[in-house]
């Protein structure tokens, strides 16, 4: 990476912002390799994503005001993972995945004390469906349930409601098809509804 950054005239001109489209593309290619690729595909795409991390770190190392390099990135990550795994590196106990999450969330909350809303830290550039799932989870923590309460344990699903991921996929595809036939933009429609959800959450938190 140092050789490329120092000797490739194209790479020398690249900024963090310039790399964003490549980062998005490589991330999606890795996802595709995980979901439907071969082991060779997975190995290659992990390397391509790693290259993006190394590239960003090399750019950061040349910042005149606040430089950091890949070793700094690794040290920061190591410290964070140690804090978030007290059942591994300290004296805490976690015998189930649920107990692990308790420790993880407690450590994360301590790190993010400056945050004033459950919405803080959610990247709005996420794809709309992924953003919807993230915001719905955060909204539920303050009692905002935009799609109605979840069925109680043992309660039968509502008629027509998906009962598996496959059925959910069919239902989502049907909605997108319906949107297309009506000339609606499904992505925009969901994003606009998510903006309303964010407003509802902030009201529930006591904000404006």
Tokens for 170, please give them: 């069919």
DSSP-assigned states of every residue in 56-85: HHHHHHT-SSS---HHHHHHHHHHHHHHH-
At 50-79, the pLDDT tens digits run 999 999 999 999 999 999 999 999 999 999
Tokens for 9, please give them: 């005239």
At 97-155, the pLDDT tens digits run 999 999 988 898 888 777 778 788 888 877 888 888 778 888 887 888 765 555 555 56
Only one residue has tokens 């790399």, namely 19
pLDDT (mean) for 14-37: 94
Give the pLDDT score at 153: 54
CA–CA gap between residue 204 and residue 47 (Å, rounded): 44
At 172-187, the pLDDT tens digits run 888 888 888 888 888 8
Q: Are 139 and 200 contacting, i.e. CB atoms less than 8 angstroms apart?
A: yes
Q: 102, 200, 193, 207: which is closest to 143 by C-alpha?
A: 200
Would you tell me the crossing angle of helices 165-181 and 186-204 to the nearest 10 degrees?
A: 110
Q: Are 58 and 8 contacting, i.e. CB atoms less than 8 angstroms apart?
A: no
pLDDT (mean) for 77-95: 94
Give the pLDDT score at 147: 59
């Amino acid at each position: 990476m140092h050789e490329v950054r120092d000797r490739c005239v194209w790479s020398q001109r690249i900024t963090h912002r310039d790399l964003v489209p490549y980062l998005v593309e490589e991330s999606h290619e890795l996802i595709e390799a995980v979901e439907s690729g071969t082991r060779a595909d997975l190995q290659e795409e992990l390397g391509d994503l790693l290259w993006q991390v190394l590239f960003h770190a090399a750019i950061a190392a040349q910042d005149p005001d606040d430089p950091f390099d890949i070793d700094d990135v690794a040290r920061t990550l190591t410290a964070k993972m140690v804090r978030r795994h007290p059942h591994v590196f300290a004296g805490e106990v976690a015998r189930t995945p649920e107990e692990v999450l308790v420790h993880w969330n407690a450590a994360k909350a301590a790190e993010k004390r400056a945050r004033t809303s459950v919405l803080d830290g959610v990247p709005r550039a996420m794809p709309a469906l992924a953003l919807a799932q993230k915001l719905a989870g955060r909204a539920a923590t303050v009692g905002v349930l935009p799609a109605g309460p979840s069925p109680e344990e043992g309660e039968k699903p509502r008629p027509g409601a998906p009962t598996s991921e496959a059925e959910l996929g069919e239902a989502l595809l049907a909605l997108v098809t319906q949107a297309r036939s009506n000339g609606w933009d499904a992505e925009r429609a969901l994003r606009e509804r998510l903006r309303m959800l964010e407003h509802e959450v902030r009201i529930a938190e006591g904000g404006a």
